[in-house]
């Protein structure tokens, strides 16, 4: 017997992308260079040697792409703004052509009754700012506020949903500590300073967005990994506490007025990543700024982490995680499919931090299933992944979590950062030779979910 889970009225159904991953046109119409333009050109940084130079060519195909969104029944589209398209040098001179591109995009979305959900920073920092030192510098946070101001002065009359940052853990730790993402550094003190300046720039930008975009909802998106210890041993419990602090609490705690977690500051001092005085990047007023009241918390969720203190990570700067689930239960990213983690996370976030509302701003799976002989792309594993995560989200709503929307990652197959085009997260297939867009079965399924405002469980 099938069971229906009906979502609340006005639940916002959408799909998400980001500028560098889909736009291409990396050097057109006055755009400046970003750290990803630079990083992807360094041999060995990207698994298949590719770059976002062309990606899905969305910069030229945006009209067709919006028509497709409409066909898929999306109520909202989450996308990001390429900072170097707007301020090629990171600050100062504004590139009108860049603003015009996003202005046309927003108008076309609205003309199709699709709500634009805008992320300001999804990792494509202007290279000019990285040349000065990038996020480890306070001046980059100041430049971000200028960027937020320029964009919201131009789009704020029509855009009423703003995300300051996408996944500051990635921007700071993958970029400056692990070094897998641009700018590719492996420097703990720099990464910790970067994390502070990313959060600070969020805090400073929120009032600017509110001023320029009256009545808008403003928030931030974090990526969370639900962490559990591999065993009840004291060592695994402690390693799990540390992982949770590093990945989750380091970012959410200061945003909700709790300062950086004291246990993590102590761990980082012990490890020599911070001086004995602690977080010296913090200046008076910073923590109050970071804890600014927001309208929502954006939650990106993909998998859980199982932590074993003695696990040997692939490299020194990665956490000690182990995989216990059989390989059939992983996506092609090597991430375990664990829908209950979304339920546990949403409940934990809401009841511990009390954001006024939450959106799942990313959730999805990488599977490379392509067209069969009939031309259809039967990505049943993705469909099941999405359905089971939506079911978990629905249970969280039933438990009292004010979840207001859900965005599939991703609308399109796209450039998956250091993995290049080897991973396909889209509900729409991209043929990178012809740039043809082919909706997968999951897209047809998602359209029905949106129409019914419900999922069906067997
Ligand atoms: O593709 C990324 C996205 O840019 C940020 N969140 C995770 C996705 C999958 O790795």
Distance 416 CA to ligand 1 centre (A): 7
Distance 280 CA to ligand 1 centre (A): 31
Distance 417 CA to ligand 1 centre (A): 8
Tell me the catalytic residues: 167, 362
Q: Ligand 1: which of 168, 331, 416 to mutate, most ligand atoms within 8 Å of CB?
A: 416
Strands (E), 314-376: 321-322, 358-362
CA distance 342 to 329: 16
The angle subtended at Cα 174 by Cα 287 and Cα 124, nearest 5°, is 85
pTM above 0.75, yes or no: yes
CA distance 453 to 374: 30
| φ, ψ for residue 238, nearest 5 deg | -70, -40
Helix (H) or strand (E) holding 203: helix 188-212
Helices (H), 213-307: 234-244, 250-255, 262-270, 286-290
- Which domains, and CATH codes, for the chain? 12-442 (3.20.20.80)
What atom of ligand 1 comes closest to residue 333's alpha carbon? 10
CA distance 74 to 114: 7
| Helix-strand-coil split of the chain, %, nearest 5 | 40, 20, 40
Q: Ligand 1: which of 19, 20, 167 to mutate, most ligand atoms within 8 Å of CB?
A: 167
Distance 313 CA to ligand 1 centre (A): 21
Residue identifier of the C-alpha nearest atom 1 of ligand 1: 416
CA distance 137 to 372: 51
Mean pLDDT by 10 residues, the chain (458 residues): 94 99 98 99 98 98 98 99 99 98 99 99 99 98 99 99 98 97 98 98 99 98 95 96 97 98 98 97 98 99 95 78 90 97 98 98 98 97 98 98 99 98 98 98 98 96
SS (H, E, C) 90-104: CCCCCCHHHHHHHHH
Whole-number pLDDT of residue 316: 65
Q: What is the DSSP string of 368-430?
A: -----TTS----HHHHHHHHHHHHHHHHHHHTT--EEEEEEE-SB----GGGTTS----SEEE
Residues with CB under 6 A from ligand 1: 18, 21, 167, 300, 362, 409, 416, 425
Residue in 445, 318, 457 with CA at minimum distance from that of residue 15: 445
User: Tokens for 246?
Assistant: 């590093």
Residue in 93, 111, 100, 78 with CA at minimum distance from that of residue 28: 100
* Model pLDDT for residues 189-208, shown as the tens digit of each residue: 999 999 999 999 999 999 99
Whole-number pLDDT of residue 458: 85
């Amino acid at each position: 017997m099938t069971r229906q889970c009906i979502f609340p009225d006005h639940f916002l159904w959408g799909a998400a992308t980001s500028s560098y991953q889909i736009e291409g046109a990396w050097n057109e119409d006055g755009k400046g260079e970003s750290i990803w333009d630079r990083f992807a050109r360094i041999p060995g940084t990207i698994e298949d040697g590719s770059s976002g130079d062309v990606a899905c060519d969305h910069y030229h195909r945006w009209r067709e792409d919006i028509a497709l969104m409409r066909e898929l029944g999306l109520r909202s589209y989450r996308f990001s703004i390429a900072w170097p398209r707007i301020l090629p040098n990171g600050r100062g001179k504004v590139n009108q052509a860049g603003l015009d591109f996003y202005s046309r995009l927003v108008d076309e979305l609205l003309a199709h009754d699709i709500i634009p959900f805008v992320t300001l920073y999804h990792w494509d920092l202007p290279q000019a700012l990285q040349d000065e030192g990038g996020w480890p510098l306070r001046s980059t946070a100041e430049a971000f506020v200028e960027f937020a101001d320029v964009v919201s002065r131009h789009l704020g009359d029509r855009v009423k949903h703003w995300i300051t940052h996408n996944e500051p853990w990635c921007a700071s730790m993958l970029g400056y500590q692990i070094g897998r993402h641009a700018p590719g550094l492996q420097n703990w003190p720099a990464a910790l300073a970067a994390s502070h300046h990313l959060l600070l720039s969020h805090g400073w930008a929120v009032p600017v967005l509110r001023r320029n975009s009256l009545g808008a909802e403003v928030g931030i998106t974090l990526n969370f990994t639900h962490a559990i210890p591999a065993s009840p041993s004291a060592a695994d419990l402690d390693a799990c506490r540390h992982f949770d602090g590093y990945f989750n609490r380091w970012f959410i705690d200061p945003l909700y007025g709790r300062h950086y977690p004291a246990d993590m500051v102590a761990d980082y001092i012990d490890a020599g990543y911070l001086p004995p005085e602690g977080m010296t990047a913090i200046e008076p007023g910073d923590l109050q700024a970071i804890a600014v009241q927001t309208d929502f918390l954006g939650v990106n969720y993909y998998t859980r982490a199982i932590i074993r203190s003695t696990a040997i990570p692939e490299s020194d700067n990665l956490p000690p995680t182990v995989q216990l689930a059989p390989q059939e239960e992983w996506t092609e990213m090597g991430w375990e499919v664990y829908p209950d983690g979304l339920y546990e996370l949403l409940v934990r976030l809401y009841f511990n931090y009390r954001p006024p509302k939450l959106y799942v701003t990313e959730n999805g799976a990488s599977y490379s299933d392509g067209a069969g002989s009939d031309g259809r792309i039967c990505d049943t594993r993705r469909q099941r992944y999405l359905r089971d995560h939506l079911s978990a989200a629905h249970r969280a709503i039933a438990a009292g979590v004010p979840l207001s929307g859900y965005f599939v990652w991703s609308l399109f197959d796209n450039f998956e950062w250091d993995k290049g085009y080897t991973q396909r997260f889209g509900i729409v297939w991209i043929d990178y030779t012809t740039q043809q867009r082919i909706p997968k079965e999951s897209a047809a399924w998602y359209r029905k979910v949106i129409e019914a405002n419900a999922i069906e469980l067997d």
